[in-house]
Chains A and B, each alone.
Chain A
């Protein structure tokens, strides 16, 4: 997978690159719209992360331009301006997702993965752990063909943990994924823990293994 990161803040784009390269993505950097435009013209990218607040270019024009050369690329628009009209315009012009700054890198990754699954038609949408099977297209969990009743949020939480298996997810990342960038100011409340407790209870009625590990003071980790 080849990704172009169009972001004028060098420090931010290098962090994104660093993170995504660890996830086996090839990343190119463009700091200006002109650079981006040149790179898009010659390289076939799978994804383009685009900060629409570029100094020399209207980021949205870049989408239009890119669509002419490279209709295969998927766009994730990043903005700190949060203009409401731009949000709508972005989608109209073919942006596939939208992330307001600041975002967590894990959330960015999960958006990329979601688009990949959606657009590329992932070979297998079923993830197995033990005798459990998590179907990410049908959005349900089964234990040896037996449906396990999960609430919407429980499913979202569990699938996020499973898709990012063997990685520590902190409470903020989980909150951001489930509740979005909604104005939430009490992170210390334990409602994430309550959901985890409920998921564990539902899993443990089928299987004794402790799939979801608590990482003290930070969050949770799904271990396979």
Chain B
């Protein structure tokens, strides 16, 4: 193990390490802690210039109540859910199939199709912006959740296929061959042999894509406008415009907007990290 385990160090060094840990963490999360404190302060603190002192009163319920019952935030949150969930399902389904095809079958253009997905996943969004916006307008899907979902599914398929294909490659191939010898149809092999083995990959991708799509901002402002279709990342800017300089409300709004992926991460931590670090070890 590297660095040398702290248990082998002298007692003062161990104590020093254990005191440094929380200090380092507080420094690391300082900007976030500041926002959390802002979100429970009363408005009067800000007008009186008490930005960093002790909160004048505890206004957690008032501030978050404002966000939930007195603004468009719930609508934006609902939009985000309605955009994110179908995208996760669509992208995972498409890429499970594509990953199966690329991971199991040997055909001449296999690696080129695979590289097309990988390369497409790396391109800057801006090169797609004008044509995709145009296409969405032509389809009559501008400023709809469907328009955003269709694009997200397509784009995320690149990353997901890379992920799925590498995962399927690592599965025991004799299993598939055995099924073939038995005369099992190819699509049944996918459904009954490969898919059950892919559960960890499906879970990892689902949480990752959920976070990526929930946090998307660029496409939200390119393809939608207004509270009918905009997700919460874009909505938070209009929310902030509405409550300009009301830092307690803006902070509470930001925390609410950030919460679902955070919950997702803490609940599904193992899958989340497995997904992010795929390929980080041989």
The yes or no verdict on A and B being binding partners is no
